[in-house]
Amino acid sequence: MADRRNQEVDGKVSANVERISTADLPPGDVLIRVAYSSLNYKDALATQAHPGVVRSLPHIPGIDCAGTVAESSSPNFNPGDEVLVTGYDLGAGHWGGFSEFVRVPADWIVPLPKGLTVRDAMIYGTAGFTAAQCVTAIVERGIEPERGPVVVTGATGGVGSLSVAILAKLGYEVEAVTGKAEHHDWLRKLGAKKMLGRDDVDDKTDRPLLAARWAAAVDTVGGNPLATLLRAVDYRGCVAACGLVAGMNFNTSVYPFILRGITLAGIDSAKCPRPERMQMWEKLSRAWKISQLDEIADEITFDELPDRVEKILAGKIVGRTIVAPRTSGK
């Protein structure tokens, strides 16, 4: 089997496509033949052997995958079953989806929902699963479309673009924040009604509250934009937070929480409990399934990963990148 592995040689980390045996894979209940994985920011960090992601080398990144069961010792899965895996320790402490095969514990696996292909599942992937959790946090707070616009930061990224599309499908007026003006038309096709620049969500004053502008927010960047959103969301609003590319720290006061009753909903997709996990995939495959999946996705092979990793680390990726476990010559 071929895989994309990181190794350390003379203190330097390199990434290469290598052929190994399935016997070399970590232990687990189920062996999956991977049809697709996807490229996420966490995967890009893993290719750099980031210590917060990768625990030891050599390592195979890929925090999600979808494919077909090849072997199983679990009564819950049989050879030929179509399945997907997102989160848990895949691609971090456990070798991941940038491989022709993965072996994982059975309780990590979700049967492929009806209504999705394995390709669809990875266009959503970890990003879509995270977006669904963000939107769920807003919906469960009782914030209906009539309450006002919902703002999405990092709107051209994976989580951001899928959040825009899902919210628009549910009838929300979506305001999309991006520094990429050339992609405004693309965001409009996903359902965004208004475009905002990064400065619109980067208030640097020390005012504890700002004029209320939005009913809710999906924040994929963290840092000062998150602090700005908390101060500018209307009464009983909700900010779903899932990213940190703008910074892992932010400063705010208690005023948004005690005067406006704002909810800050932290979104953790990796360890999401299984019942909730199944609910998210049910939504993504049925009522929340969006029609623009192919427009959001770009497919690459292992050979193209180094270039895409550089781009995602530089914030130059738009939408979703799915990875087929092969080289361009095969």
Q: Where are the domains of the chain?
A: 2-112+292-323, 126-266
Structure tokens at 325: 């476990």
Q: Do 22 and 103 touch, CB atoms closer than 8 A?
A: yes
3: CB partners within 8 A, 6+ apart:
17, 18, 19, 20, 60, 95, 98, 99, 100, 325
CB count in 10 Å sphere of residue 211 = 8
What local confidence, expressed as pLDDT, does residue 52 receive? Answer: 79
Residue-by-residue pLDDT tens, the chain, 330 positions: 666 666 655 556 667 788 888 998 999 999 999 999 999 999 988 888 888 788 788 889 999 999 999 999 999 999 999 999 999 999 998 999 999 999 999 999 999 999 999 999 999 999 999 999 999 999 999 999 999 999 999 999 999 999 999 999 999 999 999 999 999 999 999 999 999 999 999 999 999 999 999 999 999 999 999 999 999 999 999 999 999 999 999 999 999 999 999 999 999 999 999 999 999 999 999 999 999 999 999 999 999 999 999 999 998 899 999 999 876 655
265 burial via Cβ count (<10 Å: 0-12, 13-18, 19+): buried
| CATH number for region 2-112+292-323 | 3.90.180.10
Q: Alpha-carbon distance 8 to 103, whole Å?
A: 23
pLDDT in tens, 161-201: 999 999 999 999 999 999 999 999 999 999 999 999 999 99
What local confidence, expressed as pLDDT, does residue 147 receive? Answer: 98
Q: Alpha-carbon distance 265 to 248, whole Å?
A: 15
What local confidence, expressed as pLDDT, does residue 98 receive? Answer: 95
Q: Do 41 and 63 touch, CB atoms closer than 8 A?
A: no
What local confidence, expressed as pLDDT, does residue 15 receive? Answer: 73
Q: Alpha-carbon distance 282 to 212, whole Å?
A: 34
Report the candidate in 75, 137, 102 with the shortest Cα–Cα distance to residue 266: 137
What local confidence, expressed as pLDDT, does residue 8 receive? Answer: 57
- Please give the CATH topology (third level) of the domain spanning 126-266: Rossmann fold (3.40.50)
Report the candidate in 235, 192, 180, 193 with the shortest Cα–Cα distance to residue 213: 235
Q: Alpha-carbon distance 79 to 73, whole Å?
A: 10
Q: Which amino acid is at 118?
A: V
| Beta strand residue intervals within 178-277, DSSP E | 192-196, 214-219, 233-241, 263-266
Beta-strand relationship, 150-152 and 174-177? parallel
| Beta strand residue intervals within the chain, DSSP E | 2-9, 12-19, 30-39, 64-72, 82-86, 101-104, 110-111, 150-152, 174-177, 192-196, 214-219, 233-241, 263-266, 297-300, 320-323
Q: Alpha-carbon distance 288 to 139, whole Å?
A: 12
Peptide bond just before 58 cis, omega within 30 deg:
yes
Q: Do 312 and 39 touch, CB atoms closer than 8 A?
A: yes
Output DSSP code: residue 319. Answer: S
CA atoms within 13 A of residue 259's CA, in its CB half-sphere: 13
Q: Do 90 and 59 touch, CB atoms closer than 8 A?
A: no
Structure tokens at 258: 């005690």
Length of the chain: 330
What local confidence, expressed as pLDDT, does residue 54 receive? Answer: 81
Query: What are the helix and strand counts (H, E) for the chain?
Result: 9, 15
